[in-house]
Homo-oligomer: A and B are copies of this chain.
Amino acid sequence: MPRAVKKKPTGKKRTHAASAARALPVLPEVIIENISPCIDNGRFPAKAEQGRVFTVEADIFKDGHDIIKAALWHRPANQKKWQTAVMTLKDNDRWQGSFTPDQNLFYQYTIAAWMDPVATWLDHVEKKAGRYPNIQSEADEGLRLLDEMDKQAGKDAQKKISELHKTLRRTAGDSQALLEAVRGPLFQEIIGAFPLQEQLTVHEPAAELMVDRPKAVFGAWYEMFPRSQGKTPGQSATFADCIRRLPEIKKMGFDVIYLPPIHPIGTTNRKGPNNTLKAGQQVPGSPWAIGNAAGGHKSVHPDLGTLKDFASFVKAAQEKDLEIALDFAIQCSPDHPYVQEHPEWFYRLPDGTVRYAENPPKKYEDIYPVNFRNQDRAALWQELKSIVEFWIQQGVKIFRVDNPHTKPLYFWSWLIREIQKQHPEVFFLAEAFTRPKVMKFLAKAGFTQSYTYFTWRNAKKELREYFEELTQTEMRHYFRGNLFTNTPDILHAYLQQGGRPAFKVRATLAATLLPTWGIYSGYELCEHAAREEGSEEYLNSEKYDYKVWDWDRPGNIKEYIALLNRIRRENPALQEYANLRFFESTNDQVLCYGKWTQDKQNILVVCVNLDPHNPQEDRLQLPVWEFGLEDWQQYSAQDLVTGREYRWQGREQYVRLDPQAEPAHIFLLGKL
């Protein structure tokens, strides 16, 4: 709520008055409300990107007709001094101000507004001078204001103010003389140098902003199972094998390699191929059944190598400008050391045994869920925090969190804040596929990025609706979608049935709708066999098995993916989050949208044929006026997919997309 800033009383009379006023509450003088962003009224930080402009809006007004001014105050949380940015009135009492945070840190921001007595007075002088020959009272008010400026001025300026004082007196209130004086350069210089503020009101408390590094906004992710990166059937690969895979992943243009858990895997109730029970010890088990006698969340699976081997892998990736993201799955196999050491951290049955995970009637016999609300809560939470810190020590700065929505939601706001206070460069991706409001809450609570409903949005209408919600509503200030085309758990029917064109369609959408996208390995090979009809599970999923892949399998789309990632890197418009705009077109199978930078130096128009089976044609309606073009102007449209260049004019353009050739255009528009 805004708070009026009371100046300290000076002198006797003021002190007396201040004491009399204590009988009344101190109330804000200027109203500052409806600040955006200000997530849940400031309960949670908004999100911004290091080096990218951050804009704040608010409704600001006061009683009467005085002229007000406003400023956006901002500072990195480690500094006391506020920086200020001028806010300007848009319309209908809505004000806007911006700044560009240059550090990867928490920031604070708030709004100050005040009555500007000089501007108000100048306005009165201008309005009255044309109507009344003498406005002595305004001349007198000018003298009073000059006296106020004098208090702030140094000796040189005081001389000038004294001169202005004489000029104003000399007018004797004559309207024209007064007008001339206030419009003169000396007067303008002084009021510029010594701005006066009355009724200064600062909104409290300040809001928070998490300023993330650019990788948190713009990145291409590649998910892979380390144990599947080798060449020997029936055997786990090693981190050394993973290092050998790096050039190929780099060549496809990815920035982040995300690994499912790399920890020792439990033996009790180990899951076998296609999620079968009682598979015995010959199968590797699900990596999410974390922990056995060899260690838990701070250990590496011996089959993959040692912690040192992992460090070498991280280092080799870094040398190729690739970052490693680790899975953070808070659950334990029955063989996890925690189960012995901290039985109180688990759910105990009345007979003393520990309860495995279930979501009735589903059972997950190979894992124990953790009881976050146990009596030893503090020790558990601190230990969980120490796991993240452990991997930060090993060079990991990105964590993909498994099923965060089944843990106390505020646990995440505590954990992520604790980590980011010390390590602002560390960021978290929420794997919560659950109800919309729960997903939004996790993002507000601190998750840097979130999985989305993208895999289940395949029709034009639903894509448009969903992505307008993500990028055009308040969500854009706290929720950042990471568009995975597939995951080890999600192979959508569209991909199962659409063939190679379907894989290209979904990759194009993911890579261009939002600045962060990803694939789960196998996607580049158009792997599309489901476990059974109607299932989104992969057949013979590597989740439960050893697997050897032929990464050069015929029909792969590695080059297309490399092309997409190159286009993304070369076009800044694709590196921004909220600049997505959909365009009208009449064919329900063709989705058309654009992204452009604020300076309009980079304008992309994407057209995707959502039908993987048939060629489709359409007439797009391009808002050329938004691109700074007149209707009659010609412009170039270079298809970055095929390299073909077109010369266009006006808003309506014809496209035809054959999925067997290229299901999408990515046009770069240019002036001629």
CA separation between A355 and B132, bound complex, in Å? Answer: 16
Shortest beta-carbon distance, A320 to chain B, in Å? 38
CA separation between A23 and B143, bound complex, in Å? Answer: 59
Please give, as numbers and ranges, the residues of chain B lying within 8 Å of A65 by CB-CB distance: 359, 406
Please give, as numbers and ranges, the residues of chain B lying within 8 Å of A351 by CB-CB distance: 140
Q: With A14-B375, A17-B375, A377-B24 as given contacts, are A143 and B350 in contact (CB-CB < 8 Å)?
A: yes
CA separation between A123 and B360, bound complex, in Å? Answer: 8
Please give, as numbers and ranges, the residues of chain B lying within 8 Å of A7 by CB-CB distance: none
CA separation between A376 and B18, bound complex, in Å? Answer: 9
Question: In the bound complex, do residue B438 and residue A93 qualify as a contact, i.e. CB atoms below 8 Å apart?
Answer: yes
Shortest beta-carbon distance, A648 to chain B, in Å? 37
Per-residue CB contact flags for chain A residues 376-390 toward chain B (1 = under 8 Å, else 0) read: 111101100000000
Within 8 A of B (CB), among A1-48: 1, 13-14, 17, 20-25, 27-29, 31, 33, 40-41, 43
CA separation between A296 and B131, bound complex, in Å? Answer: 33
Please give, as numbers and ranges, the residues of chain B lying within 8 Å of A379 by CB-CB distance: 20
Question: In the bound complex, do residue A63 and residue B405 qualify as a contact, i.e. CB atoms below 8 Å apart?
Answer: yes
Question: In the bound complex, do residue B405 and residue A64 qualify as a contact, i.e. CB atoms below 8 Å apart?
Answer: yes
Whether a CB of chain B sits under 8 angstroms from the CB of A144 is yes
Please give, as numbers and ranges, the residues of chain B lying within 8 Å of A381 by CB-CB distance: 24
Among residues of B, the one whose C-beta sits closest to the C-beta of A13 is B375
Question: In the bound complex, do residue B140 and residue A350 qualify as a contact, i.e. CB atoms below 8 Å apart?
Answer: yes
Among residues of B, the one whose C-beta sits closest to the C-beta of A350 is B140
**Which of the segments A407-415, A562-570, A617-625 contacts the partner chain?**
A407-415
Whether a CB of chain B sits under 8 angstroms from the CB of A241 is no
Whether a CB of chain B sits under 8 angstroms from the CB of A554 is no
Question: In the bound complex, do residue A410 and residue B28 qualify as a contact, i.e. CB atoms below 8 Å apart?
Answer: yes
CA separation between A382 and B25, bound complex, in Å? Answer: 12
CA separation between A549 and B191, bound complex, in Å? Answer: 56
Question: In the bound complex, do residue A376 and residue B62 qualify as a contact, i.e. CB atoms below 8 Å apart?
Answer: no
Please give, as numbers and ranges, the residues of chain B lying within 8 Å of A123 by CB-CB distance: 360
Please give, as numbers and ranges, the residues of chain B lying within 8 Å of A405 by CB-CB distance: 63-64
Shortest beta-carbon distance, A663 to chain B, in Å? 34
Whether a CB of chain B sits under 8 angstroms from the CB of A661 is no
CA separation between A508 and B199, bound complex, in Å? Answer: 45
Whether a CB of chain B sits under 8 angstroms from the CB of A128 is yes
Question: In the bound complex, do residue A64 and residue B406 qualify as a contact, i.e. CB atoms below 8 Å apart?
Answer: yes
Whether a CB of chain B sits under 8 angstroms from the CB of A373 is yes
Quick one: which of B25, B62, B355 contacts A409, CB cutoff 8 A?
A: B62
Whether a CB of chain B sits under 8 angstroms from the CB of A107 is no
CA separation between A143 and B59, bound complex, in Å? Answer: 57
Within 8 A of B (CB), among A365-422: 373, 375-379, 381-382, 405-411, 413-414
Please give, as numbers and ranges, the residues of chain B lying within 8 Å of A414 by CB-CB distance: 24-25, 27
Shortest beta-carbon distance, A268 to chain B, in Å? 17
Question: In the bound complex, do residue A438 and residue B61 qualify as a contact, i.e. CB atoms below 8 Å apart?
Answer: yes
CA separation between A144 and B355, bound complex, in Å? Answer: 15
Shortest beta-carbon distance, A599 to chain B, in Å? 32
CA separation between A640 and B350, bound complex, in Å? Answer: 72
Whether a CB of chain B sits under 8 angstroms from the CB of A672 is no
Whether a CB of chain B sits under 8 angstroms from the CB of A130 is yes
Within 8 A of B (CB), among A126-158: 127-128, 130-132, 137, 140-141, 143-144
Indicate the size class of the contact surface on chain A: 35 or more
CA separation between A463 and B588, bound complex, in Å? Answer: 36
Whether a CB of chain B sits under 8 angstroms from the CB of A361 is yes
Please give, as numbers and ranges, the residues of chain B lying within 8 Å of A59 by CB-CB distance: 437
CA separation between A542 and B24, bound complex, in Å? Answer: 39
Question: In the bound complex, do residue B378 and residue A20 qualify as a contact, i.e. CB atoms below 8 Å apart?
Answer: yes
Question: In the bound complex, do residue B376 and residue A17 qualify as a contact, i.e. CB atoms below 8 Å apart?
Answer: yes
For A92, A378, A382, the residue with the greatest tally of chain B CB atoms inside 10 Å of its CB is A378
Shortest beta-carbon distance, A344 to chain B, in Å? 9
Quick one: which of B23, B43, B360 contacts A1, CB cutoff 8 A?
A: B43
Question: In the bound complex, do residue B24 and residue A378 qualify as a contact, i.e. CB atoms below 8 Å apart?
Answer: yes
Shortest beta-carbon distance, A66 to chain B, in Å? 10
Shortest beta-carbon distance, A447 to chain B, in Å? 14
Please give, as numbers and ranges, the residues of chain B lying within 8 Å of A132 by CB-CB distance: 361
Question: In the bound complex, do residue B124 and residue A377 qualify as a contact, i.e. CB atoms below 8 Å apart?
Answer: no
Question: In the bound complex, do residue A407 and residue B441 qualify as a contact, i.e. CB atoms below 8 Å apart?
Answer: no
Please give, as numbers and ranges, the residues of chain B lying within 8 Å of A20 by CB-CB distance: 376-379
Q: With A64-B406, A127-B360, A409-B63 as given contacts, are A93 and B378 in contact (CB-CB < 8 Å)?
A: no
Among residues of B, the one whose C-beta sits closest to the C-beta of A29 is B408
CA separation between A21 and B344, bound complex, in Å? Answer: 14
Whether a CB of chain B sits under 8 angstroms from the CB of A436 is yes
When A and B form their complex, which 9 residue pairs have the shortest distance between CB atoms, in order from nearest? A27-B410, A17-B375, A140-B350, A127-B360, A41-B41, A23-B378, A20-B378, A93-B437, A124-B360
Can you list 18 A-B contacts with CB-CB less than 8 angstroms, sorted by A residue number?
A13-B375, A14-B375, A17-B375, A21-B378, A23-B382, A24-B378, A24-B414, A27-B414, A33-B40, A41-B41, A61-B435, A61-B437, A63-B407, A64-B406, A127-B360, A128-B360, A128-B361, A199-B373
The interface of chain A, by Cβ under 8 A from chain B, is 1, 13-14, 17, 20-25, 27-29, 31, 33, 40-41, 43, 59, 61-65, 92-93, 123-124, 127-128, 130-132, 137, 140-141, 143-144, 199, 349-351, 355, 359-361, 373, 375-379, 381-382, 405-411, 413-414, 435-438, 441
